[in-house]
């Protein structure tokens, strides 16, 4: 794995090895350039190539090494926020289009798997939304009622089969799950047959327009020119402001347990805040949750909290076999941003803000963006329009941005430690150098690596993430490994030297 992508935890899906692709070592011209080799980038490349378009795809590290490889891969139309909260930000018709788009995306993924003969452990199963400790049955009944108004076949059940101790729930029929890395590997196989050019370890550092063509430049100095540009990098790295004020980065945690006895698990989520989510994979019980804003480290270990909760509620969860974390971007109104990038540039498209619906959002993006490139109408375009900001979202918008602005106080707060010798081995701390803050990592060779603590995106002060051994920006979610190398954007460059 490239040094550019260096989270310390490893997800369950790492057991599958993706094919290797070369780095970009030449200057290319193409019709469509896609930046980002996660499930969104691959899904869009797959659809465009099936339609006969010439595509080049660039990935900063290894294909699938980003957040698509760290998901739990629920294929669901159960929204990140409950429907009765979503309806406060959207009219009923738009919300109906949104949930049905995700429902149809599951069908489309299944059709692709069958058509392309992709072996990825795809399985149809029911999903259940059950109560958190502070909620009651009325919340579930409102969810059922509103869901039916939106065209979903939801029902209220007194108990989840085999898990009656969890109490009442909303039944979401015909959900699904799969192995995300196997699915991406299947798309890559088809894309190879369709002559899509894929390049790994080719991080883009610069975006520009030259002779009405989009030009991207990699860290190695090679360029790709294209008529159309698609940025599918979880958080769009091609602009500094437009989208980053309308979504917030969150860390989410996952623990895998060996099941004490083999059983088939449905998909499950609760109504707590932060909520928990559950699925199975083979003999592994997978539990996720304990989300918090990136760069705002919790007082308790999220893994320990998940393990404790699993022990209390799921006796089937045995020995801990996996631990990993990932990052999601939560849009202010609960819907992903898919379509034309806000700004004056023509023919630039993004997909971001996918929250906990990344797998289905990627498939929706593979419908919308090819249609936009071809000048075709698509009834979903307005629903996912990246430039939107409904009046009803203003309170949440102002709240999120006031939290982001508050992070800049760290320019004047005290250092974590005054002496480098107070930094434990394989950990990092913030220190002061006059008026400036530095981040210092005590490496395993007993040396101290010092970098500027200023995020190169918009100048916030990064924080140490001890679980992944990374420097995380609390404002817009940029992350850097322990040596200051950028892991994920919106930052395009590494932390500067001292």
Confidence (pTM): 0.93
Rounded Cα gap, residues 41 and 338, in angstroms: 12
Least confident of 6-10, 151-155, 361-365, 396-400: 396-400
Q: Is the pLDDT at 486 greater than 70, yes or no? A: yes
Nearest residue to 348 via CA among 386, 320, 311: 386
CA distances for 378 relative to 50, 330, 360, 381, 476, angstroms: 18, 24, 17, 6, 30
Rounded Cα gap, residues 121 and 469, in angstroms: 32
Q: What's the mean per-residue pLDDT of the chain?
A: 91
- pLDDT for position 390: 56
In degrees, to the nearest 5, what angle opens at C-alpha 54 toward C-alphas 363 and 243? 50
Rounded Cα gap, residues 487 and 416, in angstroms: 23
Q: Which residue has the tokens 């040094």?
A: 3
Query: Could you tell me if residue 465 is left (phi over 0), alpha (psi between -120 and 50 degrees) or otherwise beta?
Result: beta
82-98 as b/e, with b when 16 or more CB fall inside 10 Å? bbeebbebbeeebbbbb
User: Is it true that the peptide bond before 300 is cis, omega within 30 degrees of 0?
Assistant: no
Tokens standing for residue 304: 């320990």
Rounded Cα gap, residues 340 and 111, in angstroms: 27
Tokens standing for residue 461: 């002060």
Q: Which residue has the higher pLDDT, 398 or 490?
A: 490
Rounded Cα gap, residues 368 and 39, in angstroms: 15
- pLDDT for position 229: 98
In degrees, to the nearest 5, what angle opens at C-alpha 374 toward C-alphas 357 and 35? 50
Q: What is the pLDDT of residues 38-59, one digit of tens each?
A: 999 999 999 999 999 999 999 9
State mean pLDDT over 308-323.
96
Nearest residue to 335 via CA among 389, 276, 274: 389
> Which own/partner contact pairs does 394-403 have at CB distance under 8 Å and 24+ positions apart?
396/89, 396/332, 396/333, 397/245, 397/246, 397/332, 400/245, 400/248, 400/332, 401/245, 403/248, 403/293
Burial bucket for residue 52 (CB in 10 Å: 0-12, 13-18, 19+): exposed
In the beta sheet, which residues pair with residue 286?
256, 279
- pLDDT for position 410: 60
- Strands 123-130, 277-281: pairing is unpaired
- pLDDT for position 1: 40
Rounded Cα gap, residues 159 and 428, in angstroms: 47
Are 47 and 366 contacting, i.e. CB atoms less than 8 angstroms apart?
Answer: yes
Least confident of 96-100, 342-346, 364-368: 342-346
Kindly list the structural domains of the chain, giving each domain's residue range(s) and its CATH number in brackets, ordered by start: 12-71+181-244+334-389 (3.50.50.60), 409-488 (2.102.10.10)
State mean pLDDT over 248-271.
95
> Which own/partner contact pairs does 53-57 have at CB distance under 8 Å and 24+ positions apart?
53/370, 53/373, 54/30, 54/195, 55/30, 55/31, 55/191, 55/196, 55/197, 56/28, 56/30, 56/32, 56/196, 56/197, 56/199, 56/224, 56/226, 57/33, 57/191, 57/196, 57/197, 57/198, 57/199
CA 367 to chain centre: 19
Rounded Cα gap, residues 218 and 255, in angstroms: 35
Least confident of 70-74, 86-90, 140-144: 86-90
Confidence of residue 398 (pLDDT cuts 50, 70, 90): very low
SS3 325: strand
- Strands 348-352, 223-231: pairing is parallel
Confidence of residue 123 (pLDDT cuts 50, 70, 90): very high
């Amino acid at each position: 794995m490239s040094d550019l992508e260096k989270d310390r935890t490893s997800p369950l899906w790492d057991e599958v090895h993706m094919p290797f692709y070369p780095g970009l070592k030449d200057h290319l011209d193409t019709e469509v350039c896609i930046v980002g080799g996660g499930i969104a980038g691959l899904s869009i490349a797959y659809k465009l190539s099936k339609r006969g378009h010439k595509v080049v795809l660039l990935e900063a590290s290894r294909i699938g090494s980003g957040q698509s490889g760290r998901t739990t891969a629920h294929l669901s139309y159960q929204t990140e926020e409950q429907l009765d909260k979503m309806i406060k930000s959207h009219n009923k018709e738009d919300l109906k289009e949104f949930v049905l788009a995700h429902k149809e995306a599951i069908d489309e993924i299944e059709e692709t798997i069958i058509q392309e003969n992709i072996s990825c452990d795809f399985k149809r199963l029911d999903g259940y939304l059950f109560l958190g400790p502070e909620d009651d049955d009325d919340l579930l009944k409102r969810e059922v009622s509103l869901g039916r108004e939106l065209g979903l076949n939801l029902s209220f059940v007194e108990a989840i089969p085999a898990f009656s101790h969890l109490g009442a729930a909303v039944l979401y029929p015909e959900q699904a799950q799969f192995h995300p890395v196997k699915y991406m590997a299947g798309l890559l196989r088809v894309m190879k047959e369709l002559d899509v050019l894929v390049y790994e370890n080719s991080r883009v550092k610069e975006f520009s327009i030259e002779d009405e063509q989009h030009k991207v430049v990699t860290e190695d100095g090679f360029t790709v020119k294209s008529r159309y540009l698609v940025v599918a990098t979880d958080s769009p790295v091609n602009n500094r402001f437009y989208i980053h004020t309308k979504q917030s980065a969150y860390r989410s945690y996952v623990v895998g347990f060996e099941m004490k006895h083999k059983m088939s698990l449905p998909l499950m989520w609760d109504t707590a805040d932060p909520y928990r989510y559950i699925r199975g994979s083979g003999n592994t019980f997978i539990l996720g949750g304990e989300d918090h804003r990136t760069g705002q480290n919790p007082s308790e270990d999220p893994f320990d909290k998940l393990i404790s909760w699993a022990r209390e509620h799921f006796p089937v969860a045995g020995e801990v076999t996996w631990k990993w974390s990932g990052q999601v971007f939560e849009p202010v109104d609960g819907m992903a941003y898919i379509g034309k990038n806000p700004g004056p540039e023509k023919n630039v498209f993004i997909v971001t803000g996918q929250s906990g619906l990344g797998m289905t959002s990627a498939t929706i993006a593979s419908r919308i963006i090819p249609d936009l490139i071809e000048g075709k109408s698509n009834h979903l375009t307005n629903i996912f329009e990246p430039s939107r900001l409904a009046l009803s979202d203003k309170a949440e918008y102002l709240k999120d941005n006031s939290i982001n602005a508050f992070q800049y106080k760290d320019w004047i707060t005290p250092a974590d430690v005054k002496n480098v010798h107070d930094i434990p081995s394989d950990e990092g701390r913030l220190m002061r150098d006059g008026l400036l803050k530095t981040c210092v990592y005590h490496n395993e060779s007993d040396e101290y690596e010092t970098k500027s603590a200023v995020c190169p995106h918009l100048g916030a002060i990064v924080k140490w993430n001890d679980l992944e051994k990374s420097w995380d920006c609390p404002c817009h979610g940029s992350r850097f490994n322990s040596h200051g190398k950028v892991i994920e954007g919106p930052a395009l460059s590494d932390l500067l030297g001292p």
